[in-house]
Structure 1
Amino acid sequence: MSKLNNGEPSLHNIDDYNGKESKEKKNTVRLVIILCLVVAAFVVYFKSTSVPTDYVGTPENPGINTTKK
């Protein structure tokens, strides 16, 4: 078994294994997740409130008339 380890720590030697993570690491992970959710909310808001610019036509050939008569 020692030939397979090659000096690497086992899971039991790692601090974050089996629910033993520090409070600072938990708060950092929470902060990153909240930050990602806030950025995603801004992107969704700006995409949903933007006016589409899919006008087809030129001043000489106005294209499709979208006004209701």
Structure 2
Amino acid sequence: MNAQELRDKTPDELKNELSNLKKEAFNLRFQQATGQLENTARMRTVKRDAARVKTILNEKAAAAASEA
């Protein structure tokens, strides 16, 4: 997922995406704790995607605040 795709989404869609990523990160942590995690690199990509979504949400909020 790249930043340009995220910038095209609405804030509600971004919040939904962030929620899904947080759930996935929780499930991956749970799998790691129980020794069932096979793809450890997925944890890194999920965390980075969540950070990317948060960054875009903050950018949109700042842009909305500056317009008002």
TM-score (norm 1): 0.44
Higher relative contact order (CA 8 A, sep 6+): 2
Q: Which has the larger radius of gyration?
A: 1
TM-score (norm 2): 0.45
Structure 1 or 2: larger helix share?
A: 2
